[in-house]
Structure 1
Amino acid sequence: MLTFDFLWAFALLPLPLILWWLLPPFKETTPALRVPFFEQVAQKLNLEPSSGAVVQRSNWAQKILGPLSWILVVTALASPQWLEPPLVRTQSSRDLMLAIDISQSMEARDFKGPDGKPIDRLTAVKSVVRQFIARREGDRIGLIVFGQGAFPQSPLTLDHATVLLLLDEVRIGMAGPQTAIGDAIGVAVKMTEGSTAQDKVLVLLTDGNDTASRVPPDDAARVAADHRVVIHTIGIGDPNASGESKVDLKALERFSGETQGQSFRAEDRRGLERIYGTIDQITPIKVQRTEFRPKIALYYWPLGAAAVLLAIYHAIAMLAALIRRPSAPPAAVSQ
Structure 2
Amino acid sequence: MLSFAYPWIVLLVPLPLAVWFWLPPHVELRIGLRVPFFDRLARLSGQDPVSGGVVTRRDAGRWLVLLLVWLLVLAALARPQWIDPPLHREVPTRDLLVLVDLSGSMDTKDFVDASGKTVDRLTAVKQVLDDFLSRRKGDRVGVVVFGDAPFALVPFTTDLDLCRLMLRDTVVGMAGPRTAFGDAIGLGIGLFAKSTVKAKTIIALTDGNDTMSKVPPAEAARVAKDKGIVIHTVAVGDPRAAGEDKLDEAALKQVADTTGGGFFRALDRAQLAEIYNRLDAIETRRVDTVSFRPRRDIYWMPLAVGLVLTLLVQALRLAGRHRRRTPAPTELAGAGR
What is the distance in 1 between the residues matched to 2:96 and 2:44? Answer: 97
What is the distance in 2 between the residues matched to 1:81 and 1:227? Answer: 45
Return the letter of the residue paired with 1:240.
R
| 1:161-181 deviation line (CA, Å, top 9, x unaligned) | 222221112101112222221
What is the distance in 1 between the residues matched to 2:153 and 2:236? Answer: 21
Return the letter of the residue paired with 1:317.
R
Deviation of 1:304 (Å): 2.6
What is the distance in 2 between the residues matched to 1:251 and 1:140? Answer: 27
Question: Unaligned regions of 5+ residues in structure 2, if any?
Answer: 18-35, 50-56, 328-337
In the alignment, does 2:255 pair up with 1:260? no
Deviation of 1:275 (Å): 0.8
Question: Unaligned regions of 5+ residues in structure 1, if any?
Answer: 20-34, 43-47, 328-335
Change (3 A) 1:88 1:51: closer
Q: How does 1:255-334 map to 2 (within 5 A)?
A: 255-324=255-324
Deviation of 1:111 (Å): 1.4
What is the distance in 2 between the residues matched to 1:58 and 1:49? Answer: 16
What is the distance in 2 between the residues matched to 1:283 and 1:12? Answer: 59
Residue in 2 that maps onto 1:31? none
What is the distance in 2 between the residues matched to 1:50 and 1:303? Answer: 35
Q: Identical aligned pairs, as a percentage?
A: 43
What is the distance in 1 between the residues matched to 2:11 and 2:150? Answer: 70
Return the letter of the residue paired with 2:186.
G
Residue in 2 that maps onto 1:169? 169
What is the distance in 1 between the residues matched to 2:142 and 2:265? Answer: 22
TM-score by length of 2: 0.74
| 1:108-144 deviation line (CA, Å, top 9, x unaligned) | 2221112111111111111111122222233221111
Residue in 2 that maps onto 1:23? none
Q: How does 1:49-128 map to 2 (within 5 A)?
A: 72=72, 76=76, 79-83=79-83, 90-128=90-128
What is the distance in 2 between the residues matched to 1:254 and 1:284? Answer: 23
Deviation of 1:284 (Å): 2.2
What is the distance in 1 between the residues matched to 2:175 and 2:314? Answer: 83
| 1:232-288 deviation line (CA, Å, top 9, x unaligned) | 001122212222333222221111001111111112111111111111222222444
Local SS of the residue matching 2:211:
coil
In the alignment, does 2:192 pair up with 1:187? no
What is the distance in 2 between the residues matched to 1:181 and 1:222? Answer: 14
Deviation of 1:311 (Å): 3.2
What is the distance in 2 between the residues matched to 1:52 and 1:208? Answer: 107
Deviation of 1:83 (Å): 3.5
Change (3 A) 1:73 1:176: closer
Q: Which moved more, 1:69-78 or 1:294-303?
A: 69-78
What is the distance in 1 between the residues matched to 2:109 and 2:207? Answer: 12
Residue in 2 that maps onto 1:218? 218
Local SS of the residue matching 2:109:
coil
Q: Which moved more, 1:123-132 or 1:156-165?
A: 156-165
Return the letter of the residue paired with 1:224.
A
Change (3 A) 1:79 1:52: closer
What is the distance in 1 between the residues matched to 2:63 and 2:183? Answer: 85
TM-score by length of 1: 0.75
What is the distance in 2 between the residues matched to 1:8 and 1:227? Answer: 50
Deviation of 1:51 (Å): 10
